[in-house]
Amino acid sequence: MAGVAPAARLAGIPSSFPRDFTPFAFAPPAAKDHRAGSIRRMTQENTLLFARSGLKSLPNLWDAAALILVLGLLVLMSYGSRGMTAPLNAPKTAALSLDYWQLPYYGLRTTLRMFAAIILSLIFTFTYATIAAKSRRAEMVLIPLLDVLQSVPILGFLSFTVTFFLGLFPGSTLGAEGAAIFAIFTSQAWNMAFSFHQSLRSVPRDLEEVAASFQLTPWQKFWQLETPFAMPGLIWNMMMSMSGGWFFVVASEAISVGDVNVRLPGVGSYLALAIDNRRIDCVLAAVVAVALIILAYDQLLFRPIVAFADKFRVELTASQTQAESWVRDLFLRTRWLRLLMRYPAGLMQRVSMLALRLPTVNRGGEENPKIALTIDLVWFAIIGALLFMSLTLVIQFVGTGVDLAEVKTVAILTFYTFLRVMALIALASLIWVPIGVWIGLRPHIAEKAQPLAQFLAAFPANVLFPIAVIGILRFHLNPDIWLSVLIVFGTQWYIAFNVIAGASAFPNDLREASENFGIKGWTWWKSVILPAIFPYYITGAITASGGSWNASIVAEYVKWGDDQVTAHGVGAYIAKATADGDFPKIVLGVAAMSIVVILVNRLFWRQLSAFAERRLRLL
């Protein structure tokens, strides 16, 4: 197997397999019994390693430091989770304090919700995006559905789910926690799913051929090729999703839908209370708390993951700079922890190489035409019946509270928001594409800019509400123009993070080739880097569209104490309807927003995405 190692590394297959390991697709019959005792041998090897190491097997200072770090995190998780099951008298407002010393506990509660949501988002991404990428018929439904889901505003989800979760756990804070976590999940999952789907559809053809030559089963190919290839983009989008979750943390923790008013302990509810009481000092304290939290999980989680994922970049020459992480270095210097992790790591490796032959759907043209046509007709009939039933229910429900004149008004307001969103996406693209390329091609700068970018992406737009309201009222400014600045905070970061991810994943060998041929200036941008990052940019732009529509709910209807400023748009319409508990108007506004987002995605962004998949994928 010595000659297989270089190709295996190119395909994302780890080169550190055990010496006696044989790929399952090539294993002779005699190897089956050999593999059956592999786990037992691993345990014996670990025991012998401890016995033979002598003093080297004793824990060192790095083991102690890592143990303290892990135990500290576990204690924090235990302390923060205690309040999640406390009694709750819904729909009463939880007693909150603006005392600065409460912010560490509030920050801990918010962080636990964020990570619970990101774990759920990862599970959703690996299942939903994979099914959409592997099945043509499933993709015809799942991707448009994902467009709808990302276009539905956070307040739209909260309006209809908060009562469900409160009823699911009556008298317990767990119901409100479930509603808050689900709301944060809806601000994270769609972007990650789009990124993973795009990566699965753009795996280089030569790597596909390597996997085929190794006779990898779909299960092996997914874990040894497709997932490693998608790692760089997925990790950057995870960071972006975490930051995007902060943007809506106020709406998720300070839930107010009609008569239901629940405020969970957290930084978001603290910020909402500070705005209601016009406490600018508390607003600034919340911003400082958010910055410290982002710095903490950037150092403890995302930077080690980015350093780990650097090995999965698709390139033929080694990168000149490597991502660094003091947490990763700390664990690499330990003795006991590395030995303890050897068994689960080996077990995961063997699970990923199981010769499971999962049922697959052929995306090519080898399927029997008659059978394919019959299945398509049945599939479309089922989808059509479900759509007809859903449309009937929506029309009946909306018709109970609105008339035709209201529908026309919402259509005009939606057009205003559409113009606002598209203009800001164009502006954000002009600014962040060159900046993102410059950062992504310089890993040492990207490493330093990473926590700053996460903080700016997580910067709560609510902090700008006092400035926006006071400035507009004092200088008699036009809210339709100046409130649009708040939408930028929900748009630019999706594009920036994806462009940085694309530039970071740009193969070093192609970069060196362009330098050797002397390709510079506009020719380099047009022929080298823009085609390379274009698939990533499209993913960011599609998500930016949904993120901007979500941001319009916050940006078009702002308050500072008793003062409020409203812009003309469907975002303000939905926000006001949610505050009034007018569910027919909420459904009408959400439906209008979703229809426009789907049309823009299918007629414009998806066409560009298909072009990128056909013409701009790495060969």
* Torsion sign over Cα 245, 246, 249, 251: negative
Instruction: Classify strands 260-263 and 557-560 as parallel, antiparallel or unpaired.
Output: unpaired
Provide the 3-class DSSP secondary structure of residue 559.
strand
What DSSP assignment string belongs to 42-53?
Answer: HHHHHHHHHHHH
Q: Which positions ≥6 away from 425 have C-beta within 8 Å?
A: 491, 495, 541, 544, 545, 548
Structure tokens given for 611: 């072009």
With cut-offs at 50, 70 and 90, classify the pLDDT of residue 30: very low
409 contacts 574 by C-beta, under 8 angstroms: no
- In this prediction the pTM is 0.70
Stretch 284-305: mean pLDDT? 85
With cut-offs at 50, 70 and 90, classify the pLDDT of residue 294: confident
Q: 426: closest CA among 473, 491, 371?
A: 491
- Nearest 10 degrees: CA dihedral of 341, 73, 126, 538? -120
Helices within 333-477 (DSSP H only):
336-352, 369-399, 404-440, 443-458, 465-475
255 contacts 64 by C-beta, under 8 angstroms: no
pLDDT digits over 91-128, tens only?
A: 444 578 888 899 999 999 999 999 999 999 999 999 99
Query: In 163-301, at which residue ranges do the beta strands (DSSP E only) sit?
Result: 254-257, 260-263
pLDDT digits over 157-182, tens only?
A: 776 677 778 777 777 778 888 888 88
- Report the range of poorest mean pLDDT among 23-37, 172-186, 570-584: 23-37
With cut-offs at 50, 70 and 90, classify the pLDDT of residue 24: very low
At residue 582, the pLDDT reads 80
Q: Which positions ≥6 away from 140 have C-beta within 8 Å?
A: none
479: preceding bond cis by omega (within 30 degrees): no
- Report the range of poorest mean pLDDT among 89-93, 143-147, 363-367: 89-93
Q: 245: closest CA among 68, 127, 66, 111?
A: 111
Stretch 451-474: mean pLDDT? 72
At residue 121, the pLDDT reads 93
Give the residue with greater pLDDT, 19 vs 425: 425
With cut-offs at 50, 70 and 90, classify the pLDDT of residue 487: confident
Q: 570: closest CA among 410, 425, 420?
A: 410
Q: 312: closest CA among 239, 229, 235?
A: 229
412 has pLDDT over 90: yes
Euclidean distance between CA atoms 231 and 309, whole angstroms: 6
Q: Which positions ≥6 away from 569 have C-beta within 8 Å?
A: 413, 414, 416, 417, 420, 480, 552, 556
Helices within 98-153 (DSSP H only):
103-124, 130-134, 136-151
Structure tokens given for 582: 């007018």
Helices within 254-325 (DSSP H only):
267-276, 280-297, 303-309
At residue 459, the pLDDT reads 67
- In sequence order, the β-bridge partners of residue 87 are 172
Q: Say which CATH class 97-311+324-367+401-615 falls into.
A: mainly alpha
**CB crowding 459-488: b at 16 or more within 10 Å, else e:** bbbbbbbbebbeebeeeeeebeeebbebbb
559 has pLDDT over 50: yes
**CB crowding 130-169: b at 16 or more within 10 Å, else e:** bebbbbeebbebbbeebbbbbbbbbbbbbbebbbebbeeb
At residue 415, the pLDDT reads 94
With cut-offs at 50, 70 and 90, classify the pLDDT of residue 73: low
Domain residue extents for the chain:
97-311+324-367+401-615, 368-400
- Report the range of poorest mean pLDDT among 30-34, 176-180, 502-506: 30-34
At residue 414, the pLDDT reads 93
Give the residue with greater pLDDT, 44 vs 517: 517
Which 8-state DSSP code applies to residue 261?
Answer: E
Give the residue with greater pLDDT, 77 vs 238: 238
Provide the 3-class DSSP secondary structure of residue 172.
strand
At residue 410, the pLDDT reads 92
Report the mean per-residue pLDDT for the chain: 76
CA geometry: angle 386, 388, 392, nearest 5 deg: 120
Give the residue with greater pLDDT, 458 vs 549: 549
With cut-offs at 50, 70 and 90, classify the pLDDT of residue 458: low
At residue 418, the pLDDT reads 92
Give the residue with greater pLDDT, 352 vs 363: 352
617 has pLDDT over 70: no
